[in-house]
């Protein structure tokens, strides 16, 4: 770098005694502000090209892409004479080494397997002893997918070797006396000794822990113990907190605890399953604002909360009736705390974490909404709505609740897409009345017909279609704008900056904390701006007419020409503004500058540094010696 004293000497004949103590950038700024030839309009040009009027910025920010599997749907719904046909009842998705597959259970006891890309049917998971026994629920071991567990109408629990499509172990004694149906099964973990730990939930409220071990002479043995007998009335939901390999998601407590949430119509209980015996950590009674006949939907993820915006935390979200409550895990105290909630105008039927701080919810059995947890209303919904209210009143239809619905709409990133005809499941359970009589209740349950795997959600239709919703990554969205929607290069750069600055949220594979997000995107942003200007300059320089090589016949100081359209001018100004926005001045003065020199645009580049300098955008930046010298000489010549 050139010393400040040397640069001051270069401009001594232009500077007074006071100015001699200033650096060259400050000199340029002062001289230009004092010059009658410099207008406010010229200064504003420092940052106008990537901040153009919204009416010219017509970008539809789609977070999800939706697709229907027509060929698979035809196999499942239309081919009623097929030997493996049955009414679909449950679905799970998994990405194997060579294919992404879905497992679909049906009413005749078959689990049919399909490759999603080719939509061809693969081998079955089936045993003759299970014929005409409805498959109620399915789960797959993570992360390897080696085992699949399934629960049947007759109370049988079956472990399958999914890599070989064959039965591994059959269990008939997990449900006691066949008095209740499975509502959900979950493979918690597999130990280094190959012990497979499974939990099952029954409609009656019983939750059982099953350990399946390989026998010495081959085959498997199992042992089942009850965690709960009748406490969880209408148990329907099991959700497991899975450790993440990302350093930003590190949680000493969660990574060794296997926190598991069990949801029933009367309560949610969170249990530390890695301890022995399993240790209950928190119990959440059904809020009085939620109707009795409603199932809590639960999922775990990571992200920010309204009051914890600087660090990514392990989160649990539960949706109950018309509310979503957010909880986070405090590693220091090993407790679960409330922070953030969302209220809907209609009942919520499913909730999933799709990415850091990004929730997808299913509303009124068909509408998909995408929420951002940091924008939730702070605190606990139960405490907020109960303050000063009449305990006997229906808070869900009260004026306070309607106001809260409006207040929490700010967390909605995307609303309105509808997936019709989703097949609901049912949870049946008995409730004892005060007079001693028993009444049966039935509640809709979508835990087995709407499934989530990474950034995908599969919706099992009732009569015609299987639909997949896939959360786009930030890169896929930008590529879609460039290659599918054919947006111009300025729009693509504008969107990329909004993603970088956190103005557009909700995409997959995008860190939500500002510093991590910008560090993660920095290399891509540098490549994007360089490739963009290379492409646009090449395109216009090799075409006839606008922006061709004939531009070089014009004098750079010709204001009338400069005020007209010039792709050189736009490319230079956008490059400068873009690099300033991503704090990459060094890249601007190396790779970007080198490109413009190669295209004989060095003088134009130097001259267009003036507006951002006048705007004060380079005040805390280092400008290389050779560029500073050219700037000083340019102002001496003027």
Residues 54-75 have pLDDT tens digits of: 555 678 889 999 999 999 999 9
Band (357; pLDDT cuts 50, 70, 90): very high
Stretch 85-98: mean pLDDT: 93
Band (636; pLDDT cuts 50, 70, 90): confident
Phi, psi of 547 (to 5 degrees): 75, 15
Band (21; pLDDT cuts 50, 70, 90): low
CB 638 within 8 A of CB 605: no
Residues 100-123 have pLDDT tens digits of: 999 999 999 999 999 999 999 999
Global pTM value: 0.87
Find, among 59, 65, 66, the residue nearest to 472 by Cα. 65
CB 422 within 8 A of CB 383: no
Sketch the domain layout of the chain as residue ranges. Answer: 4-59+475-637, 65-233+447-471, 237-444
Give the pLDDT confidence score for residue 24 in this predicted structure.
Answer: 56
**Which residue in the block uniquely carries the two structure tokens 């000794």?**
193
Residue 293 burial (C-beta neighbours within 10 Å; 0-12, 13-18, 19+): middle
Please state, in angstroms and rounded to a whole number, the distance separating the CA atoms of residues 275 and 289.
34
Find, among 287, 282, 281, 239, the residue nearest to 265 by Cα. 287
Residue 553 pLDDT > 70: no
Please state, in angstroms and rounded to a whole number, the distance separating the CA atoms of residues 450 and 470.
13
Cis peptide before 277 (omega within 30 of 0): yes
CB 540 within 8 A of CB 546: yes
Give the pLDDT confidence score for residue 547 in this predicted structure.
Answer: 43
**Which residue in the block uniquely carries the two structure tokens 């119509």?**
265
Task: Give the DSSP per-residue string, 439-491.
Answer: EEEEEEE-TTTEEEETTEEEEEBSSS-EEEEEEPBHHHHHHIIIIIS---HHH
Please state, in angstroms and rounded to a whole number, the distance separating the CA atoms of residues 32 and 466.
65
Class of 65-233+447-471 in CATH: mainly beta
Please state, in angstroms and rounded to a whole number, the distance separating the CA atoms of residues 49 and 490.
8
C-alpha pair distances (Å), 597 with each of 469, 568, 592: 47, 12, 9
Average pLDDT over the chain reads 86
Vertex 553, ends 549 and 558: CA angle to 5°?
Answer: 120
CB half-sphere exposure, 537, CA atoms < 13 A: 21
Please state, in angstroms and rounded to a whole number, the distance separating the CA atoms of residues 49 and 533.
14
CB 124 within 8 A of CB 104: no
Find, among 115, 126, 66, 125, the residue nearest to 461 by Cα. 66
Residues 6 or more apart from 216 whose CB is under 8 A from it? Answer: none
């Amino acid at each position: 770098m050139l010393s400040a004293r040397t640069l001051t000497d270069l401009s001594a004949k232009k500077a007074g005694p006071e100015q001699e103590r200033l650096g060259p950038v400050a000199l340029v700024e002062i001289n230009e502000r004092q010059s009658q030839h410099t207008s406010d309009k010229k200064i504003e040009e420092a940052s106008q090209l990537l901040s153009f009027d919204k009416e010219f910025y017509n970008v539809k920010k789609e977070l999800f892409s939706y697709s229907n599997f027509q060929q698979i749907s035809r196999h499942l719904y239309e081919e009623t004479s097929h030997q493996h046909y049955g009414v679909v009842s449950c679905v799970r998705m998994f990405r194997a080494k060579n294919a992404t597959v879905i497992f679909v259970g049906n009413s005749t006891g078959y689990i049919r397997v399909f490759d999603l890309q080719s939509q061809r049917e693969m081998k079955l998971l089936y045993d003759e002893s299970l014929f005409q026994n409805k498959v109620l629920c399915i789960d797959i071991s993570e992360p390897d997918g080696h085992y699949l567990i399934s629960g049947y109408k007759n109370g049988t629990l079956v472990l399958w070797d999914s890599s070989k499509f064959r039965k591994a172990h059959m269990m008939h004694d997990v449900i006691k006396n066949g008095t209740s149906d499975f509502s959900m099964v979950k493979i918690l973990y597999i130990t280094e000794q190959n012990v497979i730990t499974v939990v099952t939930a029954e409609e009656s409220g019983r939750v059982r822990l099953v350990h399946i071990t390989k026998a010495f002479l081959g085959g498997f043995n199992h042992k089942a113990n009850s965690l709960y007998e009748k406490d969880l009335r209408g148990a329907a939901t099991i959700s497991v907190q899975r450790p993440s390999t990302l350093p930003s998601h590190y949680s000493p407590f969660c990574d060794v605890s296997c926190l598991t949430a069990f949801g029933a119509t009367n309560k949610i209980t969170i249990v530390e399953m890695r301890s022995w015996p399993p240790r209950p950590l928190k119990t959440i009674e059904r809020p009085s604002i939620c109707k009795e006949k409603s199932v809590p939907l639960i999922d775990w993820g990571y992200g920010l909360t309204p009051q914890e915006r600087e660090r990514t935390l392990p989160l649990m979200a539960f949706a109950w009736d018309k509310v979503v409550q957010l909880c986070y895990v405090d590693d220091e105290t090993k407790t679960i705390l409330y922070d953030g909630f969302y209220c809907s105008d209609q009942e919520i039927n499913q909730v999933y974490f799709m990415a850091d701080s990004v929730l997808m919810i299913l509303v009124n059995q068909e509408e998909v909404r995408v929420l951002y947890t940091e924008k939730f209303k702070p605190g606990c919904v139960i405490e907020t709505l109960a303050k000063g209210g009449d305990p006997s009143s229906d808070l869900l239809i009260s004026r306070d609740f309607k106001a809260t619905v409006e207040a929490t709409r700010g967390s909605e990133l995307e609303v309105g897409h509808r997936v019709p005809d989703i097949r609901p499941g049912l949870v049946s359970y008995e409730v004892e009345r005060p007079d001693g009589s028993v009444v049966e209740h039935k509640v809709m349950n979508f835990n087995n017909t709407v499934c989530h795997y990474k950034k995908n959600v599969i919706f099992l239709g009732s009569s015609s279609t299987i639909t997949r919703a896939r959360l786009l990554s930030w890169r896929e969205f930008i590529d879609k704008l460039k290659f599918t929607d054919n947006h111009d290069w300025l729009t693509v750069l504008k969107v990329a900056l909004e993603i970088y600055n956190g103005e557009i949220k909700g995409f997959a594979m995008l860190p939500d904390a500002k510093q991590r997000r910008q560090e993660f995107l920095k290399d891509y942003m540098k490549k994007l701006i360089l490739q963009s200007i290379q492409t646009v300059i090449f395109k216009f320089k090799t075409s006839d007419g606008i922006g061709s090589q004939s531009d070089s016949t014009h004098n750079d100081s010709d204001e009338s020409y400069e005020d007209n359209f010039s792709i050189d001018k736009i490319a230079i100004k956008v490059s400068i503004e873009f690099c300033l926005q991503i704090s990459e001045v060094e890249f601007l003065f190396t790779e970007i500058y080198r490109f413009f020199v190669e295209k004989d645009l060095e003088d134009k580049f130097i001259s267009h540094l003036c507006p951002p300098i006048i705007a004060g955008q380079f005040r805390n930046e280092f400008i290389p010696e050779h560029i500073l010298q050219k700037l000083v000489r340019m102002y001496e010549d003027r």
